[in-house]
């Protein structure tokens, strides 16, 4: 049996290694979990003793097969609960992450399997992130960050890089959600910002950071 804190570390390592394509460094883990590097070092040692993590000095931590299974199961539960909160309880997408963070630690595999079936076996959550299957498989789709589209191209929003409330509220104010059409009108060389038309109506200028954080499927 592992603790909630240990589960959170395993999930953080999974996300860092998935994003960076390399082992997770102590400082990166500390940044995600808002803790100290010393606390991370202590936890990595504990997880290593349980054979859930392997660690190399100056390289970082990576998950063992057992650790990867636990992390993937957590992500599956988290994202299924997010679908439930939005589709069945009608929460908005900016309010669900913290609630799902608590619900992901429920241990019942039978409950999660029934939840998956009840929801119709969704493959993506309300933020557009893929939901792994029970076997730990993720669905892959062709998607691009908005800043990679060229002038005149249109993309349909299928996901967002960040789930922070402020960022999602910003998109809400612009009436941008999954399924919104975003047409590139102008790429501004001066500051690398992008002028975009939203659903053939309003226009907005996105800083490069915002355009990079929106995932679209080319239309």
Distance CA(145)–CA(106), nearest Å, equals: 33
Domains detected in the chain: 4-63 (1.10.10.10), 76-140 (1.10.10.10), 144-218 (2.30.30.90)
Could you read off the pLDDT of 33-52 as tens digits, one per residue? 999 999 999 999 999 999 99
| Exposure of 5 in the CB half-sphere (CA atoms within 13 A) | 10
- Do 81 and 103 meet the contact criterion of CB atoms below 8 Å apart? yes
Could you read off the pLDDT of 55-110 as tens digits, one per residue? 988 889 999 999 999 999 999 999 999 999 999 999 999 999 999 999 999 999 99
**Average pLDDT of the chain, as a whole number:** 95
CA distances from 51 to 25, 37, 66, 77, 176 (A): 18, 21, 8, 23, 44
Q: Residue 19 — very low, low, confident or very high, per pLDDT cuts 50/70/90?
A: confident
User: What are the strands, taking DSSP E only, across 29-163?
Assistant: 53-56, 60-63, 144-145, 154-160
Could you read off the pLDDT of 182-192 as tens digits, one per residue? 999 999 998 99
Q: What pLDDT is stored for residue 27 in this prediction?
A: 93
């Amino acid at each position: 049996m592992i603790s909630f804190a240990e589960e959170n570390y395993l999930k953080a390592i999974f996300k860092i290694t998935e994003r960076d394509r390399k082992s997770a460094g102590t400082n990166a883990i500390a940044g995600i979990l808002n803790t100290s590097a010393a606390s991370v070092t202590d936890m990595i040692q504990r997880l290593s003793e349980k054979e859930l993590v392997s660690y190399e000095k100056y390289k970082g931590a990576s998950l063992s097969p057992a650790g990867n299974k636990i992390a993937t199961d957590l992500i599956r539960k988290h994202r299924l609960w997010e679908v439930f909160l939005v589709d069945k309880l009608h929460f908005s997408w900016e309010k669900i992450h913290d609630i799902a963070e608590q619900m992901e630690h429920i241990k019942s595999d039978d409950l999660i399997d029934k939840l998956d079936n009840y929801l119709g076996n969704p493959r993506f959550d309300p933020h557009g992130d893929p939901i792994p299957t029970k076997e730990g498989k993720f669905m892959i789709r062709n998607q691009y960050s908005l800043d990679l589209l060229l002038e005149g191209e249109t993309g349909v929003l299928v996901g967002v890089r960040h789930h922070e409330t402020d960022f999602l509220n910003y998109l809400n104010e612009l009436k941008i959600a999954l399924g919104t059409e975003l047409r590139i009108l102008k790429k501004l060389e001066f500051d690398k910002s992008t002028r975009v038309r939203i659903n053939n109506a309003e226009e907005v200028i996105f800083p490069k950071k915002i355009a990079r954080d929106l995932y679209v499927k080319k239309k």
